[in-house]
């Protein structure tokens, strides 16, 4: 706790920049590869990157509305913009995780499949359902303001809960992102979750915001439990799949 409080503004800034560089394709990169454990220390800023992604997706939705596009096209463009901003990072993780969990007979085979750059049937189907559910949820919202708010909340909360999964689970491999990222501190994971909760309350209102975040947390926890049982822990792909689960559930909850 003392180490957490002792950080100066420059440290906070560097960690936020690292979180933005890792979770988006926007020009926040320093060019140097982060040292082992640096990503875990920056995990508190994951929801800040989610705010930015959600806001840009919301701007795209608003522009499409002003152009008079059909609601389904507006929703699809907004989802596509968020995917472009992140470079499909989380969608790639979702596809690899579903291929591994769906096609692997045991832990070793599942992890091997997840490292294969090729996408199988389970991965393709997961991506189809992911995009389809997000577009359908956005298209069902009553107006543009609510859709923009839902986008910001979904992207923020789904990233704000990732540090908790990193704290809760062990890395599934001795190498790769899970091992290199390190383990967030409890204060860092708590800060990230609280940022997500605050944004959810402001964007969706108290009752709907709490309900949506609880449902998103349950979906992400269920995936984490499955990963621990089948893989022995988390990988970078599992984190991507968890983010997608949280985002989808948040949007669906907002659309009910």
Cβ neighbors of 165 (< 8 A, separation 6 or more) are 220, 221, 224, 234, 238, 239, 242
Question: Does the residue 128 lie in any domain?
Answer: yes
Which of the four pLDDT bands, split at 50, 70 and 90, describes residue 175? confident
Question: Does the residue 65 lie in any domain?
Answer: yes
Question: Does the residue 57 lie in any domain?
Answer: yes
What value does the mean pLDDT take over residues 50-66?
97
Backbone angles phi, psi at 123, to 5 degrees: -65, -45
Question: Does the residue 242 lie in any domain?
Answer: yes
Name the domain count of the chain. 1
Domain that holds residue 69: 44-255
Question: Does the residue 16 lie in any domain?
Answer: no
Question: Does the residue 84 lie in any domain?
Answer: yes
Structural contact between residues 213 and 73, judged by C-beta atoms closer than 8 angstroms: no
Structural contact between residues 221 and 190, judged by C-beta atoms closer than 8 angstroms: no
Question: Does the residue 221 lie in any domain?
Answer: yes
Structural contact between residues 81 and 58, judged by C-beta atoms closer than 8 angstroms: no
What value does the mean pLDDT take over residues 82-101?
96
CB atoms inside a 10 Å sphere around CB 115: 12
As given in the structure block, the two tokens for residue 77 are: 């463009």
pTM for this model (two decimals): 0.93
Question: Does the residue 18 lie in any domain?
Answer: no
pLDDT, tens digit, 9 for 90 and up, residues 125-146: 999 999 999 999 999 999 999 9
């Amino acid at each position: 706790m003392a180490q957490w409080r002792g950080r100066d503004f420059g440290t906070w800034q560097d960690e936020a920049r690292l979180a933005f560089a890792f979770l988006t394709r926007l020009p926040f990169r320093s060019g140097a590869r982060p040292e082992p454990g640096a990503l875990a220390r920056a995990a508190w800023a994951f929801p800040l990157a989610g705010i930015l992604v959600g806001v840009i997706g919301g701007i795209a939705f608003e522009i499409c509305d002003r152009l008079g596009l059909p609601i389904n096209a507006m929703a699809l463009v907004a989802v596509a913009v968020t995917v472009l901003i992140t470079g499909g990072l989380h969608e790639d993780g979702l596809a690899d995780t579903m291929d591994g969990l769906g096609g692997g007979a045991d832990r070793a085979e599942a992890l091997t499949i997840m490292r294969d750059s090729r996408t199988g049937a389970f991965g393709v189907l997961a991506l189809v359902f992911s995009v389809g559910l997000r577009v359908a949820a956005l298209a069902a919202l009553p107006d543009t303001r609510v859709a923009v708010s839902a986008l910001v909340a979904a992207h923020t909360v789904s990233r704000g809960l990732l540090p908790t999964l990193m704290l809760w689970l062990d890395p599934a491999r001795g190498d790769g992102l899970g091992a290199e990222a390190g383990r967030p501190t409890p204060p860092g994971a708590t800060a990230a979750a609280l940022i997500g909760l605050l944004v959810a309350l402001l964007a969706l209102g108290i009752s709907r915001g709490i309900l949506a975040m609880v449902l998103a947390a349950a979906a992400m926890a269920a995936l984490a439990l499955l990963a621990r049982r089948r893989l022995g822990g988390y990988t970078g792909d599992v984190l991507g799949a968890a983010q997608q689960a949280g985002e989808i559930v948040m949007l669906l909850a907002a659309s009910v």
